Amino acid sequence: MWGSRGLAAPQRDDAHQASGSDTPVRRRITARVMDLVVSTLLLAFHLPVMGGAVLLVALFGQGQLFRRIPTTGRNGQVFDLLHLDCGADEHPPAVLGTLRRARIDELFVLVNIVRGDMALVGPVADPVHLGRHLKLTEPHYAEKLRVRPGLVGPVQLLTLRGTPLPSIQDRLTLDIGYVRSCRLSGDIRLLGETMKELSRGKRG
């Protein structure tokens, strides 16, 4: 489907290709340590906010504290992506709508990172139904599943910037390009750019 959509498959980095079918062991270990340290620190820093948000959902929600979204992980393994349940409809209680607009419901994804379901930086996470569809229709999709999905990544950064991506295939092209050339320095750069965008949003 790459050709039929007018999209070229990402070019493979020769140095990365020579390192084998998976990311280098040293990078994976270093990245996992970084995931654990940073996500644990973020959880500790945001714990009062997260605790307050859980209390508000318990008081004003519809009886369910969390949404567990079946998601496609590394090597196609399925895990539950954790979000605070701030209401799935368009008109939740005002206080829960505020939590959702501030994206506080998404802070609980840090738990997925600590558990090892996700990484700080990686391809965008696909719901199971979308992952199954792409596995059948996109021959390169398996490459995306070589690494854990990330909270931050090239697709997520463009979305944060408000840059439109016309199709799922365009997003997949970016994700596979990331997997084929991922380096720790690139991950740090993506984290830095994401923090800049978040700070601009707060100032705005």
Q: Is the pLDDT of residue 23 over 90?
A: no
Predicted structure pTM score: 0.81
Mean pLDDT of 82-88: 87
Specify if 1 maps to a domain: no
The Cβ of residue 16 has, within 10 Å, a number of other Cβ atoms equal to 15
End-to-end CA distance of the chain: 40
pLDDT classification of 155: cutoffs 50, 70, 90: very high
* Cβ within 8 Å of residue 94, ≥6 positions away: none
Specify if 168 maps to a domain: yes
Q: Is the pLDDT of residue 3 over 60?
A: no
Mean pLDDT of 161-176: 87
% of the chain with per-residue pLDDT over 70: 85
Quote the mean pLDDT of the chain: 85
DSSP conformation class of 105: G
3-state secondary structure of 13: coil
Q: For 142-157, what is the HEC assignment?
A: HHHCCCCCEEECHHHH
Give the total number of structural domains in the chain: 1
DSSP conformation class of 68: E
Give the β-pairing of 126-127 and 78-84: unpaired
Specify if 109 maps to a domain: yes
Q: What is the pLDDT of residue 25?
A: 82
Domain that holds residue 55: 14-203
pLDDT classification of 159: cutoffs 50, 70, 90: confident
Q: What is the pLDDT of residue 160?
A: 85
Specify if 66 maps to a domain: yes
Query: Which pair of structure tokens corresponds to residue 169?
Result: 């295939």
Specify if 5 maps to a domain: no
Q: What is the pLDDT of residues 96-110, one digit of tens each?
A: 989 988 889 999 999
DSSP letters spanning 132-201: HHHHHH-TTHHHHTTS--EEE-HHHHHHHHT-----HHHHHHHHHHHHHH--HHHHHHHHHHHHHHHHHH
The Cβ of residue 204 has, within 10 Å, a number of other Cβ atoms equal to 5
Query: Which pair of structure tokens corresponds to residue 22?
Result: 């998976």
Give yes or no for a contact between 62 and 68, defined as CB atoms under 8 angstroms apart: no
pLDDT classification of 144: cutoffs 50, 70, 90: very high
- Angle CA(23)–CA(12)–CA(146) in degrees, nearest 5? 35
